[in-house]
């Protein structure tokens, strides 16, 4: 079962995003001319979230995930990288790098499911995989590097299991 991840970042960003609504372009089919509506997508990749409705929303790389999602919870968030193969857009790599949502690796299944629904060929998993943790001692968020579960801010040991926010399990069709 997927999880709905709430935004864990700056309050002002969240309020702006809610006021503006989602800026991400829904990616609904492999034939869609996504590169024409998302500037820089082929050159530098893009920001993505998977909405609670199970749709991939894509925005320019430097966009905040929370803006892409309109401030709502997401099933997945990260980055997408593309190539143009014979004039067709191909998704070559995806990551779960989003410091706004800090999604765990299990969010892969929500992205994979959304891509299958859109008939888009998907890679086999996140590359690279980001492990987000919250420090129980100082409360700071960090990314675990090379399986070194130590807080870079206070040197306390970090938990082995994902613990960033009060994500909730959701039923999706
Ligand atoms: Zn700490």
DSSP letter at 161 equals S
| Bridge partner list, 25 | 58
User: What is the Å distance from ligand 1's center to 141 Cα?
Assistant: 8
pLDDT in tens, the chain (173 residues): 899 999 999 999 999 999 999 999 999 998 899 999 999 999 999 999 999 999 999 999 999 999 999 999 999 999 999 999 888 899 999 999 999 999 999 999 999 999 999 999 999 999 999 999 999 999 999 999 999 999 999 999 999 999 999 999 998 75
Structure confidence at residue 68 (pLDDT) = 98
Near ion ligand 1, which residues have CB within 5 Å? 135, 137-138, 151, 153-154, 156
Structure confidence at residue 1 (pLDDT) = 82
Structure confidence at residue 87 (pLDDT) = 84
User: What is the Å distance from ligand 1's center to 160 Cα?
Assistant: 14
Q: Where are the domains of the chain?
A: 3-128, 130-164
> How far, in Å, CA of 122 to CA of 51, rounded?
18
Structure confidence at residue 6 (pLDDT) = 98
Cα atoms found within 13 Å of the Cα of residue 122, Cβ hemisphere only: 20
User: What is the Å distance from ligand 1's center to 147 Cα?
Assistant: 16
Structure confidence at residue 63 (pLDDT) = 95
> How far, in Å, CA of 31 to CA of 76, rounded?
22
> How far, in Å, CA of 23 to CA of 17, rounded?
9
Cβ pair 173, 54 in contact under 8 A: yes
> How far, in Å, CA of 133 to CA of 127, rounded?
18
């Amino acid at each position: 079962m997927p999880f709905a991840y709430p935004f864990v970042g700056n309050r002002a960003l969240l309020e702006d995003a809610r006021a503006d609504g989602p800026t991400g372009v829904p990616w609904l089919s492999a034939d869609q001319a996504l590169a024409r509506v998302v500037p820089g997508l082929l050159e530098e990749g893009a920001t993505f979230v998977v909405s609670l409705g199970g749709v991939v929303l894509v925005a320019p790389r430097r966009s905040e995930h929370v803006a892409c999602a309109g401030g709502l919870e997401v099933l997945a968030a990260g980055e997408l990288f593309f190539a143009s193969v014979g004039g067709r857009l191909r998704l070559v790599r995806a990551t779960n790098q989003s410091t706004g949502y800090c999604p765990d690796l299990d969010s892969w299944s929500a992205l994979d499911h959304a891509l299958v629904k859109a008939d888009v060929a998907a890679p086999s998993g996140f590359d690279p995989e980001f492990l987000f943790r919250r420090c129980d001692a100082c409360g700071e968020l960090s990314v675990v590097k090379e399986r070194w579960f130590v807080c870079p801010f206070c040197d306390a040991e970090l938990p082995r299991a994902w613990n960033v926010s009060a994500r909730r399990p959701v039923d999706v069709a």
